[in-house]
Amino acid sequence: MERAAEIELARQLIEGKPEAFDRFVDHFRSKIFNYSRLMCGHQEDAEEVAQETLLKVFENFDQLREPEHVRAWVFRIAKNACLVKRRKSIYAPQQEFSLDQLMPARGASGDPMKIEIADWSGIPEDEVLRSELQRVIEGAIAEMPEIYRSVMLLRDVEELSTEETAQVLDVHVDAVKTRLHRARLLARKKLDGYLRASSQAVEKN
């Protein structure tokens, strides 16, 4: 669903038009489920978080003053529901990465003009590769430290703005930028490794 359609649904619900209810529930339930599944790590927890979030959303719908910000508003509630659930389930240690750790390695020759990087020219045109990369991307997001994972899900998957992401997570915009950059570098590294392994497999065959 386009962002504009989602905002329109929120506007209708604020105006008290229940026709928008089912579509709003189904749309946001999937979104919240995916966010919390990747944040909590459990399917059942994620379904519970989605239900608890939507319950709070509807109980407090009159507090949503600007329907343009409905996605950020819903995700702020989802983030809090997820935190409560997370405390009850698994605990992953926080880990930070320095930029040096994420820079590409120099080629074996030591030539500064050469870095080790896969051939990325085939994507996103290649449909098959793209669907495999979906799985790789999800794995990369699931594996990254929580502080990066939450930012990447909100900024690059849900496409919230930097400011909206900062509000959802209660952090400064600079922290969002720093974490997002590291998250992207981690995801890129993972994809690069996958592309290199696949091109080597093709060469061997």
Partner 1 sequence: MASHQHDENCKKMFALLSEYLDMELPTEACKEMDAHIAACEPCAAFTESLRKTIELCHRYQPQEVPRSIARDARQRLLEAYQKMLAERRL
The site for partner 1 (CB under 8 A) is made up of 13, 16, 18, 21-22, 25-26, 29-30, 33-34, 37, 43, 46-47, 50-51, 54-55, 58-62, 99, 103-104, 112-115, 117-118, 120, 123-124, 130, 133-135, 137-138, 152, 156-157, 159, 162, 177, 180-181, 184-185, 187-188, 191-192
Closest contact distance (angstroms) between CB of 117 and partner 1 is: 5
Q: Nearer to partner 1 by C-beta: 90 or 122?
A: 122
Q: Nearer to partner 1 by C-beta: 96 or 204?
A: 96
Closest contact distance (angstroms) between CB of 88 and partner 1 is: 19
Q: Nearer to partner 1 by C-beta: 168 or 185?
A: 185
Q: Nearer to partner 1 by C-beta: 125 or 205?
A: 125
Q: Could you write out the three-class secondary structure of 39-89?
A: HHCCHHHHHHHHHHHHHHHHHCHHHCCCHHHHHHHHHHHHHHHHHHHHHHC
Closest contact distance (angstroms) between CB of 101 and partner 1 is: 12
Q: Nearer to partner 1 by C-beta: 146 or 192?
A: 192
Closest contact distance (angstroms) between CB of 192 and partner 1 is: 6
Closest contact distance (angstroms) between CB of 115 and partner 1 is: 4
Q: Which residue do the tokens 């983030």 mark?
A: 79
Closest contact distance (angstroms) between CB of 164 and partner 1 is: 14
Peptide bond into 67 cis (omega under 30): no
132: left (phi over 0), alpha (psi -120 to 50) or beta: alpha
Q: Nearer to partner 1 by C-beta: 159 or 204?
A: 159
Tokens of 158: 């849900």
Q: Which residues contact residue 146 at a Cβ distance below 8 angstroms, ignoring those fewer than 6 apart?
A: 39, 92, 94
Other Cβ atoms closer than 10 A to 71: 21
